[in-house]
Amino acid sequence: MTYRIDLRFTAPVHLGFMDAAYEVSESLIHSDTIFSALVCSHALLYGREETNKLLEALVSGRTHLLVSSAFHRINGVRFLPRPKGETFGLDRKLDVSRLKTIKKIKFVDEEIILHDLRVDEKDICGQYLSKKVELLGSHPQPFVILERARVSVGRLNSSSNLFYFAEVHFAQNCGLWFYLSVDESIEKRIFAALKLLSEEGFGGDRTYGLGSFEYEVSRVELPKEGEKYLLTSICVPSEEDLKNFSETFLSYELTTRTGYIYGTDKRSKKVWALTEGSVFSRPISGSLLDVTPEGFEANYGYRVYRFGKAFLLPFKGGDRG
């Protein structure tokens, strides 16, 4: 089954992406972060042994769990990353002096992608492209990032250090959303983990109440085939995916992913990954990659995986009339 999960944050959230750079925060949640959070919640509910069995089943392909990254939602309008290199025909409709407005588009209404809707300049609203611009306002700002002063105290000499901590505050009727596709055999446990996660929260400083959210679930039927395939998750390609690279990888960007392992001071191995918005000519699968640091399993009793499976959305793409 495939679902949309709409998130409404009941507290600010901090989504860090730079070590020790607490004064900055992302406004999206990447798919590997969502997957890791669900697995950690699963471990709290069902124990490490059952969670290891779940991971082994996912790695071997005996069961199925896919998540996209979480993107902006404004007054009920859900956005996806703009497919890289896609202009939706706007480059032919706009005056040369206005072409820069196309480059500013970062997010596209899900309905435009799913239903191959034709668009015009009037559908551009800052970094958003939607047929429902009346719901976005003239200058849509679904969130603000505020910096709060914090003080850390040294353990050895009790010296104090002032630093700033960024918090994302979502506006009313705004939040994030993501796709979740799950095998029926594990669906009940995954949704139980999601329920616990809503109370535990996403991101940093959860002990202070940050990152908690409410959510709504709705079933969705997504297309199976298309002329192109939009990546809506972080993806670490498999060896099979890399065959016929130049024909398959139409437009893409790379990023690095790493992070501290939950409940420890150890970091997972760094990996290169494809970013959301990458476009392919055929489906790719991605991988669930073992990123266990050396000696970690002997000390902690389990292995660590980076979720790099591809959540693809088929779409038509190409020039439009």
pLDDT at 295: 86
pLDDT over threshold 50, residue 24:
no
pLDDT at 17: 57
Domain that holds residue 256: 225-321
Least confident of 77-86, 149-158, 252-261: 149-158
Task: Tell me: do 201 and 302 sit in the same domain.
Answer: no
Beta strand 286-290 with 279-280 is unpaired
Residue of 211, 123, 216 whose CA lies nearest to 170: 211
Place 21 in a pLDDT band, splitting at 50, 70 and 90: very low
pLDDT at 149: 65
Provide mean pLDDT across the span 126-142.
Answer: 86
**Angle between helix 184-200 and helix 48-60 axes, rounded to 10 deg:** 130
pLDDT digit string, tens, across residues 287-299? 999 899 988 888 8
Task: Tell me: do 237 and 266 sit in the same domain.
Answer: yes
Total length of the chain: 321
Task: Tell me: do 319 and 267 sit in the same domain.
Answer: yes
Based on the structure, what is the number of domains in the chain? Answer: 2
| Residue 190 CB neighbour total at 10 angstroms | 19
Of 202, 222, 242, which residue is a domain's last?
A: 222
Task: Tell me: do 8 and 60 sit in the same domain.
Answer: yes
Residue pointed to by tokens 């668009």: 119
Q: Is residue 291 part of a domain?
A: yes
Task: Tell me: do 241 and 320 sit in the same domain.
Answer: yes
The span from the CA of 287 to the CA of 238, in Å, is 6
Task: Tell me: do 173 and 246 sit in the same domain.
Answer: no
User: What residues are paired with 163 via a beta bridge?
Assistant: 150
Question: 179 burial class (0-12, 13-18, 19+ CB within 10 angstroms)?
Answer: buried
Which has more pLDDT, 258 or 245?
Answer: 245
Q: Is residue 130 part of a domain?
A: no
CATH number at residue 57: 3.30.70
Q: Is residue 246 part of a domain?
A: yes
What does the H/E/C string look like for the chain? CEEEEEEEECCCECCCCCCCCCCCCCCCECHHHHHHHHHHHHHHHHCHHHHHHHHHHHHHCCCCEEECCEEEEECCEEEEECCCCCCCCHHHHCCHHHCHHHHCCCEEEHHHHHHCCCCCHHHEECCEECCCHHHCCCCCCCEEEEEEEEEEECCCCCCEEEEEEEEEEECCCEEEEEEEEECHHHHHHHHHHHHHHHHHCCCCCHHHCCCCEEEEEEECCCCCCCCEEEECCCECCCCCCCCCHHHHEEECCEEEECCECCCCCCECCCEEEECCCCEECCCCCEEEEECCCCCHHHHHCCCCEEEEECCEEEECCCCCC
Residue pointed to by tokens 């047929």: 131
Task: Tell me: do 43 and 11 sit in the same domain.
Answer: yes
**Residue 187, CB-side half-sphere exposure with 13 Å CA sphere:** 11
Of 195, 222, 249, which residue is a domain's last?
A: 222
Task: Tell me: do 229 and 218 sit in the same domain.
Answer: no
Q: Is residue 16 part of a domain?
A: yes
Q: Is residue 131 part of a domain?
A: no
**Residue 128, CB-side half-sphere exposure with 13 Å CA sphere:** 24
Place 12 in a pLDDT band, splitting at 50, 70 and 90: confident
Q: pTM score > 0.85 for this model? A: yes
pLDDT at 164: 67
How many Å is the Cα radius of gyration of the chain?
20
Of 169, 189, 222, which residue is a domain's last?
A: 222
User: What residues are paired with 311 via a beta bridge?
Assistant: none
Q: In what order do the strands lie in the sheet with 312-315?
A: 249-251, 279-280, 228-231, 312-315
pLDDT over threshold 60, residue 153:
no
pLDDT digit string, tens, across residues 99-123? 788 889 999 999 999 999 999 989 9
- Residue type at 15 in one-letter notation: L
Q: Is residue 311 part of a domain?
A: yes
Token representation of residue 25: 């925060």
Q: Is residue 215 part of a domain?
A: yes
Task: Tell me: do 274 and 292 sit in the same domain.
Answer: yes
Task: Tell me: do 144 and 171 sit in the same domain.
Answer: yes
Task: Tell me: do 195 and 156 sit in the same domain.
Answer: yes
pLDDT at 261: 78
pLDDT digit string, tens, across residues 51-75? 999 999 999 999 999 999 999 999 9
Token representation of residue 247: 């024909």
pLDDT at 301: 81
Place 176 in a pLDDT band, splitting at 50, 70 and 90: very high
Please state, rounded to an integer, the average pLDDT across all residues of the chain: 88
Contact 277, 82 (CB under 8 A): yes
Task: Tell me: do 262 and 315 sit in the same domain.
Answer: yes
The share of the chain scoring above pLDDT 90, in percent, equals 61
Q: Is residue 108 part of a domain?
A: no
